[in-house]
């Protein structure tokens, strides 16, 4: 086994975690046990993951940023992963910087040292995402030492990810009055707006060659839908029940809708071949479960990848293309915990 292969000798690694229909996955390994663990993204060397977690056993009050080395013991009895964020405010969407010695993430700690209030569901039980205006984007080393502040805007700046070339960043911001995508250099300079249509644009990732972007978006059309979206946004909320995937060149040109499935289609990530997209969706159920699907860049060849009965999302290929990290409710003892898993990919 070469040094950049994922070692599975520690923790829960077993094909028993892989369901029979999951023909593209093998040697699955569970890396967290309990709490809410999500958005686990790879280091450039395919040896580490950085993720956000809210786990009362780790002393968190809301999402904080952690990282872990893949060849270390990650069993239920192992010590918690290393925390990067300070514990002040709420954090989200961490991503490794080139060199794998620092990460970029969004945090509300400058606006308030306390965890922001979690919004209630809508009057009919509608699920909403908070768009905290205190979020700005920072970099920190793996010991938690803040290195730089990349955004300084009075409003939401978050969801930053990098190209595999390590030269460009994409993020979501409310600076125009709507939630749009922006790109910049990795020091925060040279900011360019990528999207302009009304609706939430977020969760963007670059293609393997850095030439394209894939992201999730809502596109309210009727007067009623537009008014509802804008009212929620005024209150710092987004209702993510109707989203499709969009793809464009990395400068925003040739933007087009990739999926037209209905429901919530989100958390897209390019397959290493650059010709397929993995994403999470509930289009087949209208509610739960959410599963991971694959589709080609022309919107054809839809294939279901995971078959868990509750929730699978946030798929991301390791830069070496050999492994897939994702978050899932599987194997959680019928609790509400969401955990991080890694599996080797089979074409």
Q: Is residue 1 part of a domain?
A: no
Average pLDDT of every residue of the chain? 94
pLDDT grade, residue 124 (50/70/90)?
confident
User: Mean of the pLDDT values across residues 319-340?
Assistant: 96
Identify the pLDDT of residue 72.
Answer: 87
Q: Domains in the chain: how many in total? A: 1
Q: Is residue 34 part of a domain?
A: yes
Q: Is residue 5 part of a domain?
A: no
What is the DSSP code string of 204-258?
A: EEE-TTSSEEEEEE----SHHHHHHHHHHHHTTEE-TTSBEEEEEETTSTT-EE-
Closest C-alpha among 225, 237, 159 to residue 198:
225
Neighbours of 132 (CB within 10 A): 21
Q: Is residue 6 part of a domain?
A: no
Q: Which residue has the higher pLDDT, 178 or 4?
A: 178
Domain containing residue 312: CATH number = 2.120.10.30
User: Mean of the pLDDT values across residues 195-206?
Assistant: 98
Q: Is residue 233 part of a domain?
A: yes
Identify the pLDDT of residue 286.
Answer: 85
Q: Is residue 308 part of a domain?
A: yes
Q: Of the given ranges (10-14, 94-98, 107-111), which has the lowest mean pLDDT?
A: 10-14
* pLDDT tops 80 at residue 152: yes
pLDDT grade, residue 123 (50/70/90)?
low
Q: Domain residues for 150?
A: 12-345
Cβ contact 269:277 at 8 Å: yes
Identify the pLDDT of residue 122.
Answer: 73
Q: Is residue 341 part of a domain?
A: yes
C-alpha to C-alpha distance for 39 and 37, rounded to whole angstroms: 7
Give tens-digit pLDDT for 31-42: 999 999 999 999
* pLDDT tops 60 at residue 51: yes
Q: Locate 204 and state its tokens.
A: 């963007």
Q: Is residue 272 part of a domain?
A: yes
C-alpha to C-alpha distance for 52 and 165, rounded to whole angstroms: 24
Please tell me whether residue 16 adopts helix, strand or coil conformation. Answer: helix
pLDDT grade, residue 287 (50/70/90)?
confident
Give tens-digit pLDDT for 235-246: 999 999 999 999
User: Mean of the pLDDT values across residues 202-225?
Assistant: 98
């Amino acid at each position: 086994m070469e040094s950049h292969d994922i070692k599975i000798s520690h923790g829960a690694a077993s094909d028993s975690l892989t369901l029979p229909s999951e023909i593209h996955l093998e040697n699955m390994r569970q890396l967290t046990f309990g709490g809410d663990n999500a958005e686990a993204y790879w280091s450039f060397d395919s040896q580490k993951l950085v993720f956000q977690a809210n786990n009362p056993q780790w002393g968190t009050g809301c999402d904080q940023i952690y990282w872990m080395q893949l060849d270390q013991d990650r069993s239920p009895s192992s010590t918690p992963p290393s925390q990067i964020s300070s514990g002040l405010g709420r954090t989200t969407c961490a991503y490794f910087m080139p060199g794998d010695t620092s990460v970029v993430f969004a945090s509300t700690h400058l606006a308030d040292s306390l965890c922001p209030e979690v919004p209630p569901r809508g009057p009919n039980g509608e699920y909403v995402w908070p768009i905290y205006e205190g979020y700005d984007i920072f970099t920190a080393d793996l010991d938690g030492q803040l290195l730089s502040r990349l955004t300084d805007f009075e409003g939401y700046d978050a969801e930053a990810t990098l190209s595999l070339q390590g030269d460009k960043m994409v993020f979501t911001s409310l600076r125009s009055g709507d939630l749009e995508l922006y790109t910049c250099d990795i020091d925060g300079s040279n900011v360019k707006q990528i999207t302009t249509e009304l609706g939430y644009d977020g969760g963007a990732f670059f293609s393997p060659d850095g030439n394209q972007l894939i992201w999730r978006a809502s596109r309210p059309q009727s007067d009623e839908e537009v008014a509802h979206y804008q009212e929620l946004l005024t209150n710092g909320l987004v209702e993510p029940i109707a989203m499709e995937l969009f793809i464009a060149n990395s400068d925003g040109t040739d933007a087009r809708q990739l999926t037209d499935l209905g429901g919530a289609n989100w958390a897209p990530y390019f397959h290493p071949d650059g010709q397929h997209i993995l994403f999470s969706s509930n289009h087949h159920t209208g509610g739960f479960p959410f599963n991971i699907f694959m589709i080609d860049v022309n919107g054809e060849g839809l294939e279901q990848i995971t078959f868990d009965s509750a929730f699978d999302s946030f798929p991301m290929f390791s830069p070496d293309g050999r492994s897939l990290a994702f978050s899932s409710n599987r194997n959680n003892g019928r609790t509400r915990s969401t955990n991080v898993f890694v599996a080797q990919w089979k074409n």
